[in-house]
């Protein structure tokens, strides 16, 4: 499993090059049977003007991790995966350090999938709770 895990994480991180994920410095760090985990540094680059993590950067992290998880768990060689709806409840602010996004599938349908993405800080406190709906479209 460890070799398989490292391969999946390498693919996720390699496909992030020259994308928003690279700009935000999102790094995929763990994967399991039912989750994908990534982290993002909280620096002034992702702050809103008053010096805390911007909600848009948080949502970009959540959608990135949820979409990557769909790709992994739905066989991305057979399907295109697209996010079709995302919502976020921001409950705590953070100024520095890292935030972690853990995507867990709530519903795995043939066409649509529902993901819960919890964003936490380094002390494992909830920062944001996001819900992402993805759609799997067959590759032709």
Active site residues: 63
Neighbours of 25 (CB within 10 A): 14
What is the Cα–Cα distance from 58 to 52, expressed in whole angstroms? 11
What is the Cα–Cα distance from 134 to 22, expressed in whole angstroms? 22
What is the Cα–Cα distance from 115 to 131, expressed in whole angstroms? 6
What is the Cα–Cα distance from 123 to 126, expressed in whole angstroms? 9
Is residue 17 packed enough to be buried (19+ CB in 10 Å), middle (13-18) or exposed (0-12)? exposed
């Amino acid at each position: 499993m460890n070799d398989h895990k490292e391969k999946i994480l390498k693919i996720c991180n390699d496909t992030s090059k020259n994308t928003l994920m690279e700009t935000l410095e999102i790094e995929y760090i763990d994967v399991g049977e039912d989750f994908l985990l990534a982290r993002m540094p909280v620096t002034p680059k992702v702050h809103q003007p008053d010096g805390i993590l911007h909600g848009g950067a948080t949502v970009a992290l959540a959608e990135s991790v949820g979409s990557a998880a769909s790709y992994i768990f739905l066989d991305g060689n057979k399907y295109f995966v697209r996010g079709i709806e995302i919502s976020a409840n921001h409950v705590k602010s953070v100024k520095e350090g890292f935030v972690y996004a853990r995507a867990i599938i709530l519903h795995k349908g043939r066409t649509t999938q529902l993901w819960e993405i919890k964003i936490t800080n380094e002390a494992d406190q909830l920062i944001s709770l996001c819900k992402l709906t993805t759609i799997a479209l067959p590759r032709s």
